[in-house]
Amino acid sequence: MRVAASRISPLLACLGLLAAWQIAALWLNTDSFPTAWQAIKTVPDILGDRESLLNILDSVRRMAIGLTLAVLISIPLGLAMGRSSRVAAFFNPLLMMVYPVPKAALMPVIMLWLGVGDASKTLVIFLGVSLPVIYHSFQGARAVEEKMLWSGAAMGLSCMQRMFRIVLPAALPEILTGCRTGLVLALITMVTSEMIARQSGAGNILFNAMDMAQYDTVFAMIIILGALGIILDAAFDKLRWRLVRWAEPRQEILLGAA
């Protein structure tokens, strides 16, 4: 029963949100706020249009490249910071300077350097994803018990071997939490960068539709982006559970197997 309820609850929440949207749009009765049904009917038109679909796929490609680069660079850096006070002392001030700055605010400067093409948008996505992945990798590495590392050293493991065979597996649940946060931020920064550098992508479709007062298309794109985020998050959560189910509470494991 609990498993069924956990699966039905998100669907009921979405239906409730759509119902509230429909009622609010009918009550306001304005062209700038179409009903949920009008927006939903526009979704197949967008996905069925070859140019629009290619724009959305371009966005997903940029997001995938930025996220992959961030993960490949941020995880080793975060682990190194967590296990070395010298590395942490060097990078912490730099990260503290960059962290509060909205990544969209860097877009005009990056555009001056790299232009308005894929490189600038991918870099913004990379910057948006990197910090949470570094932070969670750092916290995961710091939480590893020293006794485990001492045991590895006693068995003749080198520093690098201890990092890959002890620190990385032990920190993996925390690392994947950071990656999941980064996935959401990748979607947000992807759309934001495409709104500023309007050349192609989902953000370009959204803002062009707003300029032309095609509000049903605007809200349909919001639905598409929301659905994309939900699908990616659900897929990653399933992957995370398979990779670190040993770290989940026993009750959650039993529920997942039911």
- Find the farthest-apart pair of alpha carbons in the chain and give their distance in angstroms, rounded: 73
Q: What is the pLDDT of residue 256?
A: 42
For 243, phi then psi, to 5°, come to -75, -35
In angstroms, what CA-CA distances link 43 with 131, 207, 225? 34, 16, 11
Cα 30 to Cα 9, 34, 162, 216, distances in angstroms: 31, 7, 63, 12
Whole-number pLDDT of residue 174 = 92
pTM for the whole thing? 0.83
Residues lower than pLDDT 70 in the chain: 1-7, 198, 247-258
Residue 143 backbone dihedrals phi, psi, to 5 degrees: -80, -10
Which of these, 75, 64, 94, lies nearest to 136 by C-alpha position? 75
Can you give the pLDDT at residue 134?
Answer: 94
Q: Delineate the domains of the chain, giving CATH numbers in brackets.
A: 2-257 (1.10.3720.10)
pLDDT tens digits, residue range 64-114?
999 999 999 999 999 999 888 898 889 888 888 877 777 777 777 887 788
Specify the DSSP class assigned to residue 198.
B
Report d(CA 196, CA 206) in Å as an integer.
Answer: 12
pLDDT given at position 248: 61
pLDDT at 254: 38
User: Residue 258's pLDDT is what?
Assistant: 39
pLDDT at 9: 73
**Angle in degrees, CA 220, 61, 54, rounded to 5:** 50
CB count in 10 Å sphere of residue 97: 9
Dihedral sign for Cα atoms in the order 66, 71, 72, 76: positive
